[in-house]
A and B are shown apart, each in its own frame.
Chain A
Amino acid sequence: MSQTLAAHGGHAVEAAADVERPPLGVSWQKLMMWTFIVSDGLLFAGLLVGYGFVRIASASWPNRQEVFHLPLIGFMTFLLISSSATMASAVAAAGRADRRATVRFLLLTILGGLAFLSMQAYEWTSLIQEGARLNANPWGVAAFGASFFVITGFHGSHVLSGVVILAITAWRMGAGKSTAGGVELAGLYWHFVDLVWVFIFTLFYLI
């Protein structure tokens, strides 16, 4: 009887270990962050595909060279790429347990994010002053305004929340309360924001 009980107890211990062992070789936290990234990415995919549908279905579309200031957009892209590099450096520094370097790189990333948001706000302001609205714009295609403000606004809200997350992470790291894993998770979110901009920059501003 004691052998049977021991066998059942052994199976229970094994089952518990299976539940705790993370799948795909990553921690549960990282796997959940990737799950969130995929789901949020599909949200952006839906918006961009919807924009693609509207654009292909339209007889005409505003000339992007007349509407957008491409040097400004190019510089915004540079800022986001640079902030991704500083974020990756922060993750590397956290992995080495270099708290000061981690906080320094996180602050640089936050600076890049804030600069990007300021330029986005400037772009929005200049287009609104020219008459662009959600349901109308001076360039003759009503869907253009809605596409632009919804897609860039949705992305901008992600950048803003990313800045908040990074500020909290930097504060916690400075106070010795954050782990390298926490910085890595914040980094995944920030790189995702940069990744989405790669698609928006190409599909909306260049094509």
Chain B
Amino acid sequence: MANATQGMGYRRYWITWFFLLAVTMGMLLLEYVSWPQWILLAVLVLAMLVKASVISGYFMHLRFEKPALILIIGAGLLLTGAILFVLLALDASRVNQLSVR
């Protein structure tokens, strides 16, 4: 069971920690940047997905598991969440337009 963790030094985890911290700082600093809203949104969502991938890949060792397991978990979570959001966002947008009228 611990095969994925054997031979892995602490150094890898602390590099991952530093990277996550740097991305988080960057996301917080976006508060003080006056970019168009859609760019800020895209950058924040992208940074969020990068952090999630790094945590699941390196801390949870998913990167070292079989591709089938990665696909099942990725499809189970990200794809389902994205589909759910897109379908409901369309409806929410319609509700917003109705309430504005």
Contacts and interface: CB of A to CB of B under 8 A. Distances in A.
Contacts of B9: 92
Nearest to B13: A88
Interface residues of A, number: 58
Given A180-B2, A206-B44, A49 B81 contact: yes
Contacts of B13: 85, 88-89, 92
Contacts of A74: 24-25, 28
Given A38-B77, A70-B31, A207-B41, A59 B99 contact: yes
A34 B55 CA distance: 14
Interface string A48-77: 111011111111000001000010001001
A169 interface: no
A45 B5 contact: no
A52 B91 CA distance: 11
Interface in A14-40: 24-27, 29-30, 34, 37-38
A45 B77 contact: yes
Given A95-B5, A95-B8, A49 B88 contact: yes
Interface string B20-47: 1100110110110000000001001101
B8 A202 contact: no
Contacts of B85: 49, 52
B95 A42 contact: no
Interface residues of B, number: 52
Given A45-B80, A52-B89, A85-B16, A188 B10 contact: no
A70 B28 contact: yes
A25 B65 contact: yes
Contact of A52 (B21, B27, B51, B88): B88
21 contacts: A24-B66, A24-B72, A25-B69, A26-B65, A42-B81, A48-B81, A85-B14, A85-B16, A85-B59, A88-B16, A88-B58, A92-B10, A92-B13, A179-B1, A184-B5, A187-B59, A194-B59, A198-B51, A199-B48, A202-B27, A202-B44
Interface of B: 1-2, 5-6, 8-10, 13-14, 16-17, 20-21, 24-25, 27-28, 30-31, 41, 44-45, 47-48, 51-52, 55-56, 58-60, 65-66, 68-69, 72-73, 76-77, 80-81, 84-85, 88-89, 91-93, 95-96, 99-100
Interface of A: 24-27, 29-30, 34, 37-38, 41-42, 45-46, 48-50, 52-59, 65, 70, 74, 77-78, 81-82, 84-85, 87-89, 91-92, 94-96, 179-181, 184, 187-188, 191-192, 194-195, 198-199, 201-203, 206-207
